[in-house]
Structure 1
Amino acid sequence: MVDLNDRVADLAIMATLHRYRVFETAHGIAAIAWSGDAVTAFRLPGETARDAEWSLLRRLPDAVAGDPPPAIAAVIADAIRYFAGEPVDFDAVAIDLGEQEPFFAQVYHRVRAIGRGETMTYGAVARDLGAGPEAARAVGQAMARNPIPLIVPCHRVLAAGSRVHGFSAPGGALAKVRMLEIEGVATEPPPAAQTAFEF
């Protein structure tokens, strides 16, 4: 006879289980993880499926590959369309960021409201949240730790003077520039890394 308490416990575990899927886009191989109908992690396109999977599993080591439910399949389809250059809006996508520092949670909420083709600076995000200019660095840290890039569009947050600076996703700052170009935002290319000293 099945113990009802054991069955309830099994259902609770299944509800919190993270699943993931690796998929191809026009810009490379991406990965998404979910729990229920909420996205819990996203990896921007990189060169290989192995890299995308490894990057995602660093954040969610217990996640298992699986078939996405309809809500997540729709997000995957929209991400494929996005990287093919189609206008896509991720505002209504359910997300679960897990435990976050309160300020980081506020930053992610504010950044989700930055529309396609728009940008803000780290300092402007901090000001919108009622914080002083010293909080711009904390906004940058939140963007660097963003578990769901694209859906929480950290690529739309720029350095002072609207400069493209730093991006921890595959491809670095050039990936950020490409995403902004997909959205019709003209940017200056990021400065080349210094390869030699000149005196």
Structure 2
Amino acid sequence: MWTVVDSPVGPLRLVEHNGAITAIEFSPFADRDGRPRGQQQDDHPVLVEGARQLAAYFDRDLKEFDLPLAPAGSDFQKRVWDQLLGVGWGETASYGEIAHRLGMTNAASRAVGLANGRNPIPIVIPCHRVIGADGTLTGYAGGLERKQLLLSLEVDGLF
């Protein structure tokens, strides 16, 4: 099941399967990527709660999400995404720092970056909080403009 909600970073499609959020997608939506989405169901309880929490996040009233999540990925990707959940509101971490949290060296930074870029549940799993070692914004599946907006929302409340 899925629904679409408006947000300051454009329309977001929330996808649910078996009682958990499996994806949050930025517009324009890619329907031919092979991911199962099912039918639109705006009143599904998990999707309603996801929409409510996202609205509260964008209003700066929610800093930690509490949603059932089921991102599909490799074991390594899931380990990276678990580490992203530890990067709190208003904080950032470099790809190398995430690699170190996984018990790896800086040499794994590229693999961390690739896993970060494949995160199917952005915002809730905060891949936007991962930046380059020199503090610069680096790639973001939703585009660097969205990444900057999300970081600005958290750091200084601008939007």
Q: Normalising by the residue count of structure 2, what TM-score does the alignment of the two structures yield? A: 0.88
Out of 149, 164, 170, the residue aligned to residue 137 of structure 2 is 164
Q: Would you say 1:153 and 2:126 are equivalent positions?
A: yes
Conserved 8 A contact 2:14-2:50: no
Number of residue-to-residue matches in the alignment: 157
Deviations 1:134-171 (CA, angstroms, capped at 9, x unpaired): 110011001111100011100011111221111121xx
State the match for 1:22 in structure 2: 4
Determine the structure 1 residue equivalent to 2:91: 118
Q: Which amino acid aligns with 2:81?
A: Y
1:40/1:57 CA distance change after superposition, 3 Å: farther
Q: 1:65-110 deviations in whole A, cap 9, x for unaligned? A: 11343233111111123224433321x2111112x22221110111
Q: What does residue range 1-199 of structure 1 map to in structure 2 within 5 Å?
A: 19-44=1-26, 46=27, 51=28, 54-55=29-30, 58=33, 60-90=35-65, 92-98=66-72, 100-169=73-142, 172-184=143-155
Q: Describe the shift of the 1:57–1:82 C-alpha distance in structure 2 as closer, same or farther (beyond 3 A).
A: farther
Unaligned runs of 5+ in 1: 1-18, 187-199
Distance in structure 2 (CA, Å) of the matches to 1:113 and 1:68: 30
Provide closer, same or farther for how the CA distance between residues 166 and 149 of structure 1 changes in structure 2, counting only shifts above 3 A.
Answer: same
Contact preservation (8 Å) 1:32, 1:42: yes
Question: Could you tell me whether the CA contact under 8 Å between 1:41 and 1:56 is conserved in 2?
Answer: no
TM-score by structure 1 length? 0.72
- 8 Å CA contact retained: 2:131, 2:137: yes
Gaps of 5+ in 2: none
What is the RMSD of the two structures over their aligned residues, measured on CA atoms?
2.0
Summarize the Cα distance change of 1:185–1:134 in structure 2 as closer, same or farther, 3 Å threshold.
Answer: farther
